[in-house]
Amino acid sequence: MWSNCLAYFKERLPEQAYQTWFDGIAVSTLTSEEIVLQVPNQFHYEWLESKYRHLIDAAIKEVFDKPMIVNYSVVVSHKKPNEIPSLVQKENVIPPGYQEKTQLNSRYLFDNFIEGKGNQLAKAASYSVAEKPGQTPFNPLLIYSITGLGKTHLLQGIGNFCIRRYPSMRVQYLTSEKFMLDFIRAIQENKSTEFANTYRGVDMLLLDDVQFFQNKEQTQEQFFHLFNELYQQGKQIVLTTDRPPNELTGLKDRLVSRFQSGLMVDIQPPDLETRIAILMKKAHDDHLEIPFEIIEYIASHIKRNVRELEGTMVRLLARSSLYRKDITMELAREVLEEILGKEAFIGVTIDHVIKSISREWKVSERQLVGKGRKMEIAMARQIAMYLSRELTAASLFNIGLHLGGRDHSTVIHACKTVEKKMLGDNELKKRILRIKKELQPVGSVSIY
């Protein structure tokens, strides 16, 4: 029956998605009501659950002729992937993550939110309101950033913190989309009064992705009243949006000015160290052993989005466990190529970078790879490190090794120095970008 389900997925999914997420998934337990799917790791489970749950339900309904409870078991193995079948160490069934009433997911905590320059303020503010809901000047607290940088994580983190510290507090997490859909349904069913009362009694309202309210006038109106009511009672309100409030077109001015009346903080994309730390924490929390070199490799290529960062790791793990392949640089590169596009990688090596820099900065190749510390040479070497990190698949370790036998922290420092200099020196920036363009093959997509 499960192979019929697999056929169902195969028919409906792109080949790549099927292979990554379903090929090789087995059933570990089957009763008349429950089916337990055996997945290689926590990530895999979360991915199936968040992206494919409806499809899995639909397949089961068709094949089994009735709905079933779907659970997952993770096979944790610290041995090589190709030895998994005989070396099962631990199997545990994961409880569903979302709590029905509060809509909180226990996996989003302050504890597993890695702090970096880009999100420090947002985290500190979130923590303050979680500790003293409604009693800080940060009401409402509004967190904004482009997608995938941890807004939902923080919002949920606030809720999870509060329900643990203040068990009697009524915390409500809600996406703006759900708010709107529930409201529309209420109108259809002639229950708008009931709807208006639904959230009146909460002590803390966590509303995610408010940009959804753009151009939805009735919904905005409805929310405006709820906002005022909660606010007047001193209840804590936290909101997120994907852009600063003053750029929220299609939102009524009076709503926007309410949003702006507390504290607004943004989240900026994480720097390299933060990205590495996030991946290491993930790997650790999920009991995964991934070589540091590979974590660093992924972190240096995926820059703007934590979700994508995690997604890359998920894909790498899925690939490794489904095909029983070791996690190697080669596999990592394969996966990154799929995500970023092959062109992003073709051919650029540290040697190419060294040649270009040598030509442009009139420093010999030997000087670049040597240890000399004369200023022009050191500067050119730093730029070579920066471009190697930007353009090649080499790890920081290897870049350091090639360019003066330095360690990876020197390379990180060099990249930062160059980035900073580029900010203050337009000529330099242009020069570096020109070389970057020269080095990248024609028609290639930009990696970032």
Chain residues binding Mg ion by CB under 5 A are 151-152
- In the list 41, 105, 119, 395, the residue contacting ligand ADP (rule: CB under 6 A) is 119
Nearest to 55 by CA among 16, 6, 1: 6
47 near ligand ADP, judged by CB under 6 A: no
Query: Could you tell me whether strands 34-39 and 26-30 are parallel, antiparallel, or unpaired per DSSP bridges?
Result: antiparallel
DSSP symbol at 98: B
153 near ligand ADP, judged by CB under 6 A: yes
In the bound state with Mg ion, the residue whose beta carbon lies nearer, of 202 and 306, is 306
149 near ligand ADP, judged by CB under 6 A: yes
For residue 275, the partner it binds in ligand ADP, Mg ion, none, with Cβ less than 5 to 8 A by kind, is: none
Tokens of 46: 């979360």
Tokens of 205: 């309202």
In the bound state with ligand ADP, the residue whose beta carbon lies nearer, of 309 and 357, is 309
Segment lying near ligand ADP (by CB under 6 A), choices 96-104, 210-218, 302-310, 322-330: 302-310
Stretch (H or E) spanning 37: strand 34-39
Contact call for residues 38 and 73 (beta carbons, < 8 A): yes
Cβ atoms within 10 Å of 316's Cβ, excluding its own: 25
Contact call for residues 59 and 8 (beta carbons, < 8 A): yes
Position 251, amino acid? L
148 near ligand ADP, judged by CB under 6 A: yes
**Residues 303 to 342: which contact ligand ADP by CB under 6 A?**
306-307, 310
In the bound state with Mg ion, the residue whose beta carbon lies nearer, of 159 and 400, is 159
Shortest separation between residue 209's beta carbon and Mg ion, angstroms: 6
Shortest separation between residue 266's beta carbon and ligand ADP, angstroms: 11
CA distances from 350 to 75, 305, 354, 402 (A): 39, 26, 6, 8
Segment lying near ligand ADP (by CB under 6 A), choices 105-113, 164-172, 326-334, 345-353: 105-113
151 near ligand ADP, judged by CB under 6 A: yes
Shortest separation between residue 103's beta carbon and Mg ion, angstroms: 13
HSE value, Cβ hemisphere, 13 Å, CA-based, for 272: 19
Shortest separation between residue 271's beta carbon and ligand ADP, angstroms: 11
Q: DSSP H helical segments within 22-119, as ranges?
A: 42-47, 53-64
How many residues of this chain bind ligand ADP (CB under 6 A)?
A: 17
CA dihedral 434, 391, 412, 277 (to 10 degrees): 130
The residues binding ligand ADP (CB under 6 A) are: 108, 112-114, 119, 145, 147-153, 278, 306-307, 310
